[in-house]
Amino acid sequence: MKVSILTYHWEDNYGATMQAYATYRAVKESGHTPEFIDLRLPYAPSLKSRLVFGLKRYRFNSFRKKHFRNLTDKTYRSVEELRRNPPASDCYLVGSDQTWNPQIGKKLLPAFFLTFGDDSVRRVTYATSIGLNQWEKSPYISDSEIKKSLGRFHRILLREDSGIRIARETFGVEARQVVDPVLLFHSYPELTGKIRPSGEVITYKLINDEGFYDKARAVADTMHLPVRSIGSVRKPKGYRASYPESVEGWIRRIAGASLVLTDSFHGTVISLLYHRPFVVYIGSPNRITRIVSLLDQLGLSERILTGENTIGKILDTANKKIDWNAVDKKLSSLRADSLKLLEETLSWA
């Protein structure tokens, strides 16, 4: 069966790129033929942005050209283009990532609710995320239009429990919970090669919090380890800096760290897969539903801290041993259930 995947496959974001890669791989290994629907979020950088982020763009494009070869013939720039000329397919699959987050989808949000194409095409989701505690109405698609569109879906598989609640209470549809596609696989040796310990404290911070980098450096100093910032153009004083990392290099940095300090969902996911001690240092309390949901499932919610916590609390959390056998057991069960649901969802039986 041909499965056309609609997600954020063309964004210069490490987590978005990895979830797209993993979704494609999971669909392919389930025995189907995947392709990406080549819908791209608006990209019109200033000259300054091109100069600052040009190398990062190049490295992400290199990854995409190597691994995202199967795209629709047409590159879509709007919902209207998709409706006029929808891709021919047996199945449209939306997800994962925050494809149902109105703050991110904006004008393209109706596309991610699959408001295009013939009714004969099967519509499903996998690990789709809203990424918010409460639904925010969109000026680009009404709640009634979303409800009508969701009525055409064969099955809805979402990533966090808050999304399942919103789907039920706001749109009157039932959904099942599955893990992020990156967690469907134990590791990614085909991308990283052999992982080598770096003996570093790694910070991967999406939202800049006052005092975070000072605290992280103090933690590293106490541990007698160097500290490195990855994935950010910021170069804090006293830090090693790697910018811009390739997607493969980003995984290797986290997978080889002595400690990871992050507010990133996928930074947390890679830490889990490679058994790295980690602390989640919350950036925006309104945008951590995905991390809270996952760590609750794995019994690790105590590793989520806020800016109110002291350096001592961060150190205590960092030094608290993780029972990786227990985590892997829970994760293996979640992985098996999610793969089964994905395979059932894509089956015509």
The candidate with the shortest Cα–Cα distance to 320, out of 239, 274, 259, is 259
As a whole number of angstroms, the distance between CA 255 and CA 327 comes to 16
Burial of residue 325 (number of CB atoms within 10 Å: 0-12, 13-18, 19+):
exposed
Q: Is the pTM of this model over 0.85?
A: yes
Domains within the chain, CATH numbers bracketed: 2-185 (3.40.50), 190-323 (3.40.50.2000)
Strand, helix or coil at 75? coil
> Per residue of the chain (349 residues), what is the pLDDT tens digit?
999 999 999 999 999 999 999 999 999 999 999 999 999 988 888 998 998 899 999 999 999 999 999 999 999 999 999 999 999 999 999 988 899 999 999 999 999 999 999 999 999 999 999 999 999 999 999 999 999 999 999 999 999 999 999 999 999 999 999 999 999 999 999 999 999 999 999 999 998 888 999 999 999 999 999 999 999 888 899 999 888 999 999 999 999 999 999 999 999 999 999 999 999 998 777 778 889 999 999 999 999 999 889 999 999 999 999 999 999 999 999 999 999 999 999 986 4
Query: Which run of H or E residues covers position 240?
Result: strand 240-242
As a whole number of angstroms, the distance between CA 281 and CA 56 comes to 25
Q: Are 38 and 126 in contact (CB under 8 A)?
A: no
The candidate with the shortest Cα–Cα distance to 294, out of 327, 319, 320, is 327
One-character DSSP codes across 182-225: GGGSS--HHHH-S------EEEE-SS--TTHHHHHHHHHHHTT-
Give 281's Cβ-side CA count (13 Å radius).
31
Listed as own residue / partner, the contacts of 209-218 with beta carbons closer than 8 Å and 24 or more positions apart are 209/263, 209/281, 209/283, 209/307, 210/307, 211/307, 212/261, 212/281, 212/307, 213/239, 215/281, 215/311, 215/314, 216/261, 216/281, 216/314, 218/311
- Residues sharing a CB contact under 8 Å with residue 329, sequence separation 6 or more, in sequence order: none
